[in-house]
Amino acid sequence: MEWAELRGYSRIMDTTAEVLPESALRDAVDLLVRLVEAAGALIIFVGAVWAFGRFLLTMARGAGPDRRFNRIRLTLGRFLALGLEFQLAGDVLRTAVAPSFTEIGQLAAIAAIRTALNFFLGREIAAERAEIERDRRKDADGSRARAEPV
């Protein structure tokens, strides 16, 4: 590579560094990560408050079948899964700036925990949904059998 060409590249790099210094990029990404993680945390907290209120309401209306509690847990699980998606998005954003090895290790551990939890939550939600659907079908069959006596 010619010396003049190299100097040209170096000038471009300098200009880029002036326009978008790494510290500014780091600040911007940090702000975005905080916003996204706060949104995820808010969703999880709102889900917990909602589920708590529903549990109290169900209790106040009189003890219902377990199915009602399962339905509330299913919705809480959905809130948790949504919050997790936001927090994973925050993790991905964090990798945008060059972190230290300790930060990379922590990030990997957190991302692994969140991904595993998201996977298990998804499986639990699917299982609960199948159980609710089975109960509903059983109830429908039972009421049909009562309505049409042989």
Partner 1 sequence: MTTALDLAALATTAFGLVAAAVVLAAAGRLLPAVAVLLDFLTAAGLLRLAGDPSWSTIAAAAAVIAVRRLAVAGLRAPRPG
Q: Shortest distance, CB of residue 132 to partner 1, whole angstroms?
A: 14
Half-sphere exposure of 78 toward its Cβ, with a 13 Å CA cutoff? 10
DSSP state of 97: S
Q: Which residues contact 68 (CB under 8 A, 6 or more apart)?
A: 58
- Alpha-carbon distance 44 to 46, whole Å? 6
Which CB sits closer to partner 1, 1 or 63?
63
Contact residues toward partner 1 (CB under 8 A) are 34, 37-38, 40-41, 44-45, 47-49, 51-52, 55-56, 58-59, 63-64, 66, 69-70, 73, 76-77, 80, 83-84, 87, 90, 106, 109-110, 113-114, 116-117, 120, 124
Q: Shortest distance, CB of residue 46 to partner 1, whole angstroms?
A: 10
